[in-house]
Amino acid sequence: MTPNDLDALLRETRTFAPSEEFRRQANYNDESIYEEAAHNPEGYWAKQAENITWFHEFESVCRWDPPHAQWFIGGKLNAAYNCVDRHTLTHRKNKAAIIWEGEPGDSRVLTYDMLRREVDKAAHMLTELGVKKGDRVTIYLPMVPELPVAMLACAKIGAMHSVVFGGFSAQSLKDRILDAGSKLLITADGGWRRGKVIPLKQNADEAVEGTPIEKVVVVKRIGEAAQAGMNPTRDVWWHELMENAPTKPFPAEPVDAEDYLFLLYTSGTTGKPKGIVHSTGGYLVGVNTSMRTVFDLKDDDVFFCTADIGWITGHTYIVYGPLSAGATVVMYEGSPDYPDRDRYWAIVEKYGATILYTAPTSIRMFMKWGPQYVEKHDLSTLRLLGSVGEPINPEAWMWYHKYVGQERCPIVDTWWQTETGCAMIAPLPGIVTTKPGSATKAVPGISVDIFDDDGNPVPPGHGGNLVITKPWPSMLRTVWGDDERFRKTYFGKFEGIYLPGDGAYRDQDGYYWIVGRLDDVINVSGHRIGTAEVESSLVAHPAVAEAAVIGRAHEVKGQAITAFVILKEGHTGSDDLVAELKQFVVEQIGAMARPEEIIFTADLPKTRSGKIMRRLLRDIAEGRVVGDTTTLADPAVVEQLKSQYKDQE
């Protein structure tokens, strides 16, 4: 988000109070919940933990030894039992747990009872393949029902899953397998995206070379169309193993509340992605609570989250949140514009979705396509809308409100991160008056603030570093294999205070307005990408001597990647080389990291100590008057770049 957008945000004065009708039916409609939770956060969380089934009750709620927190100490539970088995003992036994739709139009419904059978068979299968409690299983699947089944089967055994988004390249998958030390990989012969096959198995074959992976389980998604090329000693078909797996129930492994549930990689400020580690008890209590508070979930809701399970939003709001709460969740495999631009709306109508959770980048795309695609469908079942992934600009918020919510549905703009596990700043829709563009305030039980660089809280009407001042149940426990990085990244700036890396502003009413990342992380269409990751992939190309990558404001994507590249002696910039470098980054990282533009330059603006001045590069790319250049080693570089940028546009 550019500073101009912040100005626009701060001029935003529209407010939307919950309707009397919504307020009356809401799970929470009394403001006192905020005060009660603030007064006694541990008591609040202990009460929320009653919604989870514990095999053994916890003895104490929280131990805080900064930066390490433990929650629900002594408690024993199983996440898969909570998401599946326990519902089969209730009226939910034959309720739809997952309604899945494939991109080509095929669909599957798994009731809680059916899901229980699938998860148990998969847990038997994984056990027979040698997976044990504490092992890491890497999962590289498209959005098919086998993905949540595989995750829950790991959880049932007490093994950790590490899901790698299907858009990642072979190299990225390999890096993540190596870091996690997985011996088993679950993938598919392909996935559908815009009518084309994503070659997951080919990537997987390349990725597992030179890793500890011993077995690759392959889900048949594409069938005849794909050349899965099975390696007879290493690869096994999922469906064959499942057919032969015992059908008897798999006993859920009672794990300690602090035992790890999963790891999920996310980008940081260095080239190496971080394996964010989540615990079982705290994570589950956190995500389950937010279903009832932020999403006002009721037993008859149909919850449609458009995220991919390869990201935290899908982990939390397709798998563990809705299923632990016994909800019906809609899961869609493909692209929103296939076969036409009304696909999401067709899905909402077809399955009667009541809650829709999507990202600002998608909303801006829908705006660009025009309201006719929304208007073609009956969206009268919708009662609540959510937004996540990046700051939502008021214009997109208003469009979402008007065309999708038909001025009837409250919007919950939810700020959170892979590291926080679940929504942290978001309105409770039956209580909080919303303002377009503001995530409003911290959810009950969460303490946030804004600090200046010296660690002092800023008064209302000011901006600074967003911080979380107290531990919370679903906070990350560490960075996999690198506790020092965990300590430094999140607790290195202010002692005992969690630093998310986002800038925020607080208005006179105490509402938070998230401005965007303060570090070298770019948010492209809601995907976190480290500038250092893209830079190191560019310099791996034989023609590139040096690269500086920045995010510039982009109408639909929020931010787009601009790369400034210095070529090695003997190479000259050309359109072909631009195309080649873009493709090179895609192959190294994945399609979401493809630079929007590449600018060849002879030099980069650097401080006298040799640091690249990204702020200046951003100013150039966004066409603003260039800011202070007094610390530049060679101010002429900027002038030169500015004119070059114009020429290449």
Which amino acids are annotated as binding site for ATP, given as ranges? 389-391, 413-418, 502, 517, 528
Binding ligand WTA (rule: CB under 6 A), the pick from 76, 136, 528, 618 is: 528
In DSSP terms, 505 is beta-bridged to 463, 513
Binding ligand WTA (rule: CB under 6 A), the pick from 45, 397, 415, 645 is: 415
523's enclosing H/E stretch is strand 521-524
3-state secondary structure of 560: strand
Taking contact as CB under 6 A, which single stretch among the options 63-71, 149-157, 409-417, 595-603 is the one that binds ligand WTA? 409-417
Q: How far is the CB of 307 from ligand WTA (least distance, A)?
A: 8
Q: Beta strand pairing status for 302-305 and 355-358? A: parallel
Q: How far is the CB of 21 from ligand WTA (least distance, A)?
A: 26
Q: How far apart are CA 588 and CA 598, in angstroms?
A: 16
The answer to the question of residue 530 lying near ligand WTA (CB under 6 A) is no
Compose the 422-451 pattern: x for residues touching ligand WTA by CB under 6 A, - for all others.
-----------------x------------
User: Is the Cβ of residue 238 or residue 320 nearer to ligand WTA in the bound state?
Assistant: 320
User: Is the Cβ of residue 266 or residue 306 nearer to ligand WTA in the bound state?
Assistant: 266
Q: CB neighbours of 447 closer than 8 A, spacing ≥ 6? A: 38, 41, 468, 469, 470
Which residue, among 454, 448, 449, 451, has the nearest Cα to 465 in the 3D structure? 451
User: Is the Cβ of residue 78 or residue 266 nearer to ligand WTA in the bound state?
Assistant: 266
DSSP H helices, 232-325, are 238-244, 281-293, 312-314, 321-324
Tokens found for residue 133: 């409690």
Q: How far is the CB of 177 from ligand WTA (least distance, A)?
A: 21
The answer to the question of residue 295 lying near ligand WTA (CB under 6 A) is no
Which residue, among 558, 511, 564, has the nearest Cα to 535 in the 3D structure? 564
Tokens found for residue 455: 């660690």
Taking contact as CB under 6 A, which single stretch among the options 124-132, 143-151, 307-315, 615-623 is the one that binds ligand WTA? 307-315
Binding ligand WTA (rule: CB under 6 A), the pick from 103, 235, 342, 390 is: 390
The answer to the question of residue 317 lying near ligand WTA (CB under 6 A) is no
Tokens found for residue 28: 């929470």
| Cβ count within 10 A of residue 250 | 23
Positions at the binding site for Mg(2+): 539, 541, 544
Per-position b or e across 176-207, b if 16+ CB within 10 A of its CB: bbebbebbbbbbbbbbbbeeebbbbbbbbbeb
Binding ligand WTA (rule: CB under 6 A), the pick from 166, 282, 386, 391 is: 391
Distance set, CA 534 to CA 272, 540, 582 (Å)? 11, 10, 10
Q: How far is the CB of 415 from ligand WTA (least distance, A)?
A: 4
Taking contact as CB under 6 A, which single stretch among the options 136-144, 362-370, 384-392, 640-648 is the one that binds ligand WTA? 384-392
Say if CB 354 and CB 381 are below 8 A apart: yes
The answer to the question of residue 301 lying near ligand WTA (CB under 6 A) is no
Per-position b or e across 333-360, b if 16+ CB within 10 A of its CB: bbebebeebbbbbbbbbebbbbbbbbbb
Q: How far is the CB of 637 from ligand WTA (least distance, A)?
A: 30
Distance set, CA 210 to CA 172, 405, 557 (Å)? 14, 50, 36
Q: How far apart are CA 500 and CA 517, in angstroms?
A: 9
Binding ligand WTA (rule: CB under 6 A), the pick from 179, 189, 296, 413 is: 413
Compose the 239-278 pattern: x for residues touching ligand WTA by CB under 6 A, - for all others.
---------------------------x------------
Residue 228: DSSP 8-state: -
Amino acid (one-letter) located at 214: E
Taking contact as CB under 6 A, which single stretch among the options 10-18, 65-73, 495-503, 560-568 is the one that binds ligand WTA? 495-503
Site for ligand WTA in 150-209 (CB under 6 A): none
Residue nearest ligand WTA, CB atom distance: 418
The answer to the question of residue 388 lying near ligand WTA (CB under 6 A) is yes
User: Is the Cβ of residue 523 or residue 537 nearer to ligand WTA in the bound state?
Assistant: 523
- Count Cα neighbours of 112 within 13 Å in the Cβ-side half-sphere: 23
Taking contact as CB under 6 A, which single stretch among the options 36-44, 82-90, 408-416, 469-477 is the one that binds ligand WTA? 408-416
Q: How far apart are CA 383 and CA 301, in angstroms?
A: 9
The answer to the question of residue 71 lying near ligand WTA (CB under 6 A) is no
Residue 56: DSSP 8-state: B
Binding ligand WTA (rule: CB under 6 A), the pick from 418, 438, 465, 489 is: 418
User: Is the Cβ of residue 8 or residue 242 nearer to ligand WTA in the bound state?
Assistant: 8
User: Is the Cβ of residue 388 or residue 585 nearer to ligand WTA in the bound state?
Assistant: 388
Binding ligand WTA (rule: CB under 6 A), the pick from 62, 217, 261, 312 is: 312
Binding ligand WTA (rule: CB under 6 A), the pick from 262, 320, 416, 480 is: 416
Taking contact as CB under 6 A, which single stretch among the options 87-95, 400-408, 416-424, 456-464 is the one that binds ligand WTA? 416-424
The answer to the question of residue 465 lying near ligand WTA (CB under 6 A) is no
DSSP H helices, 158-211, are 170-180, 200-208
Interacting residues with ligand WTA (CB under 6 A): 266, 311-313, 388-391, 413-418, 439, 500-502, 514, 516-517, 523, 528
